[in-house]
Structure 1
Amino acid sequence: MLEQLENVSSYESLFVMDNRHPCILVNMDGVIAEANFVFSKKFSIGKSDNLLSILKKNGLRSWNDFKENCNETKISMLDNLVMITEGNLECLCNTHAFYSSDTNQAVLTFVLPAICTELPPRDYVGCFTHASQLTMIVNNEGFIIDVNNRISELFNLTKSAVIGKRIQSLYRKFNTQKSHAEDQYDAHMNTLKTFGKIKFTERFENEPNTIQFLEIHATYNSDCDLYIVEMRDCTEMEILRRKLDHSGSLSTVGQMAASIAHEIRNPMTTLKGFVQLMEVTATGDTAKYLSVVDDELQRMEAILNEMLMLSKPTEEKFTQFSLGVLITKVLEIMKPKAMFESIHIDWHDASFCNSMIYSNADKIKQVLLNIFKNAFEAMEPGGILTLKLEKAEGTSFTLSVADTGKGMSPLQVKNMFMPFYTSKPEGTGLGLPFVLKTMEGLGGAVAVSSESGSGTTFKLVFPQHYLENCTINERYSAN
C-alpha cells in the first residue's frame, strides 16, 4: 500500500483508503502532524502530540534507527514496536514507514495484533490472579509488589501478608539453614542479573512432616525494570525422579551381584571345605578359631545369597492361597526367636476372613520374614509386635506390622530402601530393598511411618487380583 504513494502529500488518500489501521503523519522530532480516527482511538493521542510519549525502550531504538537511515530509503519496516495503548496496555506493533525528504516527514501505518483490540485490562488482571502457577512481581530492590491467589495454597499466606515484604522472607521457608538464606538469595540474584533468568528447585515444609518441592523460574523484564517470579508445585515429578534414581541403584546392585557371585562363590566353597576337614581333627584353641572362621564364612554366604535374591530374576509361581494362613505360618517360624527374646506377638484377624489372593507365596513369605526379623531386632525384651490384616478399598488387603522398638529418624526413613544402607552394625542393607522390589513386582506397595523413640509401622498392600468371588476354603494350605 505504501509503495503506491508518490509523496507524503498523498497521505490523505491513504487515510481514506484504509481506515482499518492506525495511521499518522509525523515530523522527524516525533510530533504528530495528522492522525486518523483509528490511531486517536487506540492510543489516546492525536495531532500535535508526540509519538515518542507512547513508545517503550525498544520502540525508541527502532525510531532512532529509522531516522538515521531514512535518507537512504523511502520505505522502511519498524518491527515489533512496543507501544502504550489506551488503558496503559503494552501492544506489540509492526509499523510500515514512508519517508519524504521534501517535507522531512513520514507516514506511519501500524499493524496491530488482534489481542490488543480484544482483551480489556480487567481480563489481563483476571488471568494473572487466577493463573494455575504462583506468580509474583518483584521490584529491583527485592520487594514483592503483587502476587496472585496461589500464594495462599502453597505458603498458607494471604496476599496482604506478602505484598510489600522482601522476597527473602520466603527463602526462609525453604529447606535452607537460616544463616544461609541471605547467601542463597544473593547468589540467585547475581545469576538473574547476569543472565536475565534463573530456574531452580527448592524443598520446603508447608505443614509439619509434609515435604513439598517447588520449581522456581524467575525472569527480568528490562522494559519495566521488574522481576517476574513463577513457582510450580513439582512434588510428584520430584518423587518420580527419585524413584527412577532408586531403580538405577537397584540395577547397579544386580550387575554387582552377578560379578561378586562369579568371583567369590567358588573360592568361598573351597575355603569352607578345607575348614570342615580341619575341624575333624582340631582341638583346643584351634577348634575354637576354626569355628569362628566357619561362622564368618556362613555369614559371607548369607550376604551373597541376599544380593542374589535382590538382583537375580526368578520364575514367577502364582497360586491361590490364604494370606492370613501364610502370615500365621511365618509367625510359627519366628515363634522360637520371639520366646527367646521375650517378644509378644499380637496377631489380629485370626479368622482370616476373605483373605484369598492370587500371588507368589514364596516371595511374600520372604518379604514377611524380612519385616518380622527387622522388627524383632529393633525391640528390647518385652517388646510387642502387633499385626492386623484388613480388607482395603477395591481389591486388595493391607497388613499393618507395628513394633514398639526405638523407631527411626527422618533420615533413616528416607534412605531405608536404598541398597547397602543400614543402621545395624552387622546389617547388609539389602533386606528392605528386596522387600520394596518384591512388593512392587507383585503389584503391591510398602509404606512406613516411624518416629524416633516411638516404634515403627510397616503397611504392606497386597493386591487380590480380582478374586472377589473365590470360593476356595480359607483353610487352603499356602505353599
Structure 2
Amino acid sequence: MEGIGVCKMVKTVRPIFRKLFKTVNDPVLILNTSCQIESINDFAAQLLNIDPASRQELQLDELSKARWNDFVSKIQNELGGFCNLNVKIGENRYKEIRLIGYFHKEKNLVFARIALMTEKRSLLNQKSNLDIYSMFNDISHGIILSDKNGYILDANDMALEYFQCGKNHLINKQHEMIFEKLEDYEYSKLQYFANLLNTGRASVHVSGMNKHGEEIFLKLDSKFNYKMNMIVTTMTDETEIMLLKQQVEQQETLDSIGQMAASIAHEIRNPLTSLKGFLELIKINSSGDNLNYLNVMDSELQRMDEILNEILYLSKPKQVHYEEISVFQIVQDVVELMIPFALQNNIMLKIDSYNYYHLNIKGNHTRLKQMLINLVKNAIEVMVEGGTITIKLETNNDEIDVLVIDEGPGLTDREIDQLFTPFYTTKPTGTGLGLPLVKKVIEEHHGSINIESSVGVGTTFKISLPICDKKVICTEKEKLIDVWIKKESLDRLPVV
C-alpha cells in the first residue's frame, strides 16, 4: 500500500469525533489503513510532538512499518489488538509507543489509544534504537531482515554492497529475491527454503560478482527469530576460504603427482632410454616409408620423455641457481628456437619492445626460457588457421611485464579459472601440465601471471617479474624488432 508508515496530520471536522476526543483523558487517535491520521486529540498530539495545525507528517522506521501492516491485517479479523511502533518525533529522535485499538469495518478506520511509557524508558529506547541501527550498518557481515511472510524489511550497508543496489530495490520484496544476482545449485536453493520452512533455520553457499567484476563466494545463514517475529539472514564472505581451498586441492594434486613421479621415473624412463637407443640403430638401415614410420615413433617417444620431465619438474623441488639475466635476451632465444615450429603452422612471430633500455631480473635463465617456450607453443597450437603471435615487453613501476598475445579462438571465464589446474587442458592432445609448470616458474621468481581473453579474438598472457636492475644499453627513441615468419620466406629470417 502506498504511503504505509507515513502518517499525515489531518484536522478532523467531524463533530462526533471532536466531541468524543474532548471527553477522553487518554491519548487517542483515528487512522486509516494506510496509517494516515484522520483525527487526533490534544493529549496524543502533544505526546507525539505534533502541531495539529501544521499538518506535519508522522514517520515510522522500517521495522514499525512492517508491524503496522501485520497489526492492521490482524485486527480486521479479530476484536482488537496492539502493536509497538517507533515514531520519529524530531531530528534523530524516536519515541516508542504502543497502540491498542480495534478496526471499524464500516468506516474502514482504526480507533486506537496510545499506551504511555515512562520518560526514562522512552529516552533509553531512543538511544538504544539509534545505537543498534548504527551497529547494524557497521557490522562487517551482510544482514537482511525479513518478516514472517518472507518480505524484506531492511538490509545493512554490507548486504547492499554485495547486491550492488540501493535499499529501495530490496525493501518490501520477496525474500527469495536475494538469489536474483547470486548463483547456486538449484537443489541447494530448494533445500534452503525447505529447511527454513520446516526447522526455522537454513544455510546455503552461493557465488556472484563484486563491483570490480571479480567472483565472490558467500554463505547465507537464515534463522527465524520468534521473539522479533522475523527472519534474520547473515551473509558471510568466504572468498578467501574458497581460494585457499582451491590452492590446497591443487597442492594435494601436485603432492599426488610427486608420490607417483619417482615410480614413473624408475618404471618408464629406463625402458624408454633403451627403446630410443634401439630405434636409432634400426633407423640406420631403414629407408622410405619404414624410415618415416620410425621417425614418427621417435617423435612420440620424445613426447613421452617431455611429459615425464614436466611431471618431475612439478613434483620435485630443486635447488635453483639465480643470477642477473636479461629478459629481452630470453625472449630472443625463445623466438629463435620456436621459428621452425611457427613455420610449420603458418604463424608470424613479432617481438615488440617499447623500452629504451634492457631490464635485468634475478632469475634462472633455463627455467624462464622453458616457461616462455610453453606459452608460445600453446599459442601456436591453438592458432589452427595461422596468424600473428606478439611478444611485448613493458614496464610497470618496479616490474617488467612480458605479454604473449595470440590470435586464437579465445577462452571463456570458466576456462580461464581452470587453466592452471594440473591435467586440465582445452586441447585434444594436451597433457594439462604446461601451464601449471608456467605458474610454478613464475611463483619461484616472485612474479605473477594474468590472463585476458575474448572469445573469437584471442588471448593475452601477462607475466610480471620484479626488476633487479636497469641498464641503458640503447639510446634510440624506440627500438622495435619484428620477426615475420612465413613459409615462403625462409631466407628472410632476421638477425636479432
Scaled by the length of structure 1, what TM-score is found? Answer: 0.67
| 1:324/1:352 contact within 8 Å kept | no
**Is the aligned partner of 1:198 residue 2:175?**
no
Partner Cα separation in structure 1 for residue 290 and residue 451 of structure 2: 47
* Residues 295-310 of structure 1 aligned to structure 2 (within 5 Å): 295-310=299-314
Partner Cα separation in structure 2 for residue 473 and residue 224 of structure 1: 74
Partner Cα separation in structure 2 for residue 193 and residue 391 of structure 1: 57
Q: 1:456 aligns with which of 459, 468, 476?
A: 459
Change (3 A) 1:214 1:261: same
Partner Cα separation in structure 1 for residue 257 and residue 248 of structure 2: 14
**Is the aligned partner of 1:312 residue 2:312?**
no
* Residues 208-357 of structure 1 aligned to structure 2 (within 5 Å): 210-281=214-285, 289-349=293-353, 353-357=357-361
The superposition leaves residues 113-151 of structure 1 with CA deviations (integer Å, 9 ceiling, x where unpaired) of xxx899522211222234332211122222112222334
Report the count of equivalent residues. 358
Across the aligned residues of Structure 1 and Structure 2, the Cα RMSD in angstroms comes to 3.1
- C-alpha displacement at 1:271, in angstroms? 3.0
- C-alpha displacement at 1:331, in angstroms? 1.2
Q: 2:147 aligns with which of 139, 147, 152?
A: 139
Partner Cα separation in structure 2 for residue 471 and residue 223 of structure 1: 72
Partner Cα separation in structure 1 for residue 299 and residue 353 of structure 2: 39
The 3-state SS of whatever aligns with 2:353 is coil
Partner of 1:163: 171
* Residues 2-17 of structure 1 aligned to structure 2 (within 5 Å): none
The superposition leaves residues 187-243 of structure 1 with CA deviations (integer Å, 9 ceiling, x where unpaired) of 113324555543432112356954222122222212233211011333233223222
Change (3 A) 1:233 1:373: same
Please, which moves more after superposition, 299-308 or 189-198? Answer: 189-198
**Is the aligned partner of 1:399 residue 2:377?**
no
The superposition leaves residues 67-95 of structure 1 with CA deviations (integer Å, 9 ceiling, x where unpaired) of xxxxxxxxxxxxxxxxxxx9769xxxxxx
Q: 1:431 aligns with which of 430, 434, 457?
A: 434
Indicate the percent of aligned positions where both proteins have the same amino acid: 33
Q: Which amino acid aligns with 2:446?
A: G
Partner Cα separation in structure 2 for residue 159 and residue 342 of structure 1: 57
Q: Which amino acid aligns with 2:181?
A: K
Partner Cα separation in structure 2 for residue 174 and residue 134 of structure 1: 14
- C-alpha displacement at 1:409, in angstroms? 2.3
Scaled by the length of structure 2, what TM-score is found? Answer: 0.65
**Is the aligned partner of 1:375 residue 2:383?**
no
| 2:208/2:217 contact within 8 Å kept | yes
Partner of 1:104: none
* Residues 4-43 of structure 1 aligned to structure 2 (within 5 Å): none
| 1:151/1:157 contact within 8 Å kept | no
Change (3 A) 1:372 1:352: farther
Change (3 A) 1:238 1:184: closer
Partner Cα separation in structure 2 for residue 148 and residue 140 of structure 1: 19
| 1:356/1:474 contact within 8 Å kept | no
The 3-state SS of whatever aligns with 1:348 is strand
Task: Mark the runs of 5 or more structure 1 residues left unpaired by the alignment.
Answer: 1-85, 90-115
- C-alpha displacement at 1:407, in angstroms? 1.0
Partner of 1:129: 137
Partner Cα separation in structure 1 for residue 374 and residue 414 of structure 2: 21
Q: Which amino acid aligns with 2:150?
A: G
Change (3 A) 1:354 1:288: closer
Partner Cα separation in structure 2 for residue 226 and residue 206 of structure 1: 28
